[in-house]
Amino acid sequence: MIDLPATPQTVLAKVIVPALALLPAQMDTPPARVLLVAFGAQETGYRTRQQQGGPAHGLWQCERPLMQLLLDNKASSAEVYALCKSRAVAPLASDMYWALLTDDLFAAGTARLALWCNLAPLPALGNVDAAFDYYIATWGPGAYTRGTPAERAAIRQRFNDNYSAALAAVSGSEA
């Protein structure tokens, strides 16, 4: 567990990179790293693991039904079981859901597996429009889908800022 609040660089180095090492090598790509950094920043700003007034858990704000989907999805089930074993989490949706609050590497791994289950290719680096569309399609943020036009514009602007910070963090880590 990292101390919160955290910077994108800290989350990348201490959470995302170690979590990706627990998954198959083809899941660790620069586009995946950027999306994970950006999506986590968008969801929590790396300030909390428990959604205020809602059911989501972890730095990526995942909900219990996602855990069951990851277990049941042919694209992710073997990797989910391996991730659970590596982190000593029972491969049960309820146990996985609660582990998101106490195991940042597990949370990052499940977030990456959620991306893996999206059949669309990851957006190219720098394509913020495609990255935002991928975020909406994969995370389905209620604040955006239910928001007013002004709220949606603010969410989009925040995403643009988070995506830029994610690109910078990943680019800096590869230098």
pLDDT per position as a tens digit, 48-67? 999 999 999 999 999 999 99
Instruction: Give the pLDDT score at 173.
Output: 75
Burial of 124 (0-12, 13-18, 19+ CB in 10 A): exposed
User: In the chain, where are the structural domains located?
Assistant: 8-174
Query: Could you give the residue ranges of the DSSP H alpha helices within the chain?
Result: 8-11, 17-20, 30-44, 64-72, 77-86, 93-99, 104-117, 128-139, 142-145, 149-174
How confident is the model at residue 172, as a pLDDT?
87
Round to whole Å and give the CA distance between 159 and 57: 20
Q: Rounded to whole angstroms, how far apart are CA atoms 58 and 78?
A: 22
Averaged confidence pLDDT in the chain: 96
The neighbour count for residue 22, using CB atoms within 10 Å, is: 19
For residue 90, what pLDDT is reported? 98
